[in-house]
Chains A and B, each alone.
Chain A
Amino acid sequence: QQQVKQSPQSLIVQKGGISIINCAYENTAFDYFPWYQQFPGKGPALLIAIRPDVSEKKEGRFTISFNKSAKQFSLHIMDSQPGDSATYFCAASKDFGNEKLTFGTGTRLTIIP
């Protein structure tokens, strides 16, 4: 049973544009929702995370939007740059992130000039 569904599988965005990746979860016990960025040959790196008591969190060019009633959250990358080209994973966890992470299937993002 896949508890976190992620879309799209791949995304191509022009430099300077906005990249949007969406995730939906099923388990209402999840209370911590991070986004990870992974480059080839490297482990996932934490980008930004949100808890369900807020609807939006922004850090630099990265914003998470969270819709608790719809059980959905999304990552927005503003002013996308070629260096943002990577695979992005959403994830979810319980106990404020102290428990295991359940990952989405990943989105391969390519930023073109």
Chain B
Amino acid sequence: DAGVTQSPTHLIKTRGQQVTLRCSPISGHKSVSWYQQVLGQGPQFIFQYYEKEERGRGNFPDRFSARQFPNYSSELNVNALLLGDSALYLCASSLEGPRGYGYTFGSGTRLTVV
């Protein structure tokens, strides 16, 4: 079984540019979340989508946006990149249920803003 797949694995962008990161969840998982992990810190929640609807948004500026497609894959967009946006961006998917099943993370996209 394929796990959560993210693309690209690495990316270098210049300040002010825009970037799109992609995520394919585990087959059957309808919930997708995005996290930002700065070096040496724990992941910080950015967005959660369930059945193509935004369920939650973390404390990130409006430069960050996301969407989920009918096949449950997802994209994270970041506009007007800043140096501080350099981080590992993680996608996680979950098989939701009344007792929860936890999240499976992908290996992430390493974004470097120069």
Contacts and interface: CB of A to CB of B under 8 A. Distances in A.
Interface string B75-114: 0000000000000001010101111111111111000000
Contact of B58 (A95, A96, A100): A100
A42 B9 CA distance: 10
B45 interface: yes
A64 B92 CA distance: 23
Contacts, number: 65
> Could you say which interface size class chain A belongs to?
20 to 34
Interface in B9-62: 31, 33, 35, 40-45, 48, 55-56, 58
> Could you say which interface size class chain B belongs to?
20 to 34
A98 interface: yes
Contacts of A22: none
B92 to A, nearest CB: 8
A45 B105 contact: yes
Contacts of A36: 105
A98 B92 CA distance: 12
Contact of A97 (B4, B41, B90, B100): B100
A73 interface: no
Contact of B48 (A34, A96, A99): A99
Nearest first, the 7 A-B pairs at minimum CB distance are: A97-B100, A103-B42, A96-B100, A43-B105, A100-B45, A43-B107, A98-B100
Interface of B: 4, 31, 33, 35, 40-45, 48, 55-56, 58, 90, 92, 94, 96-108
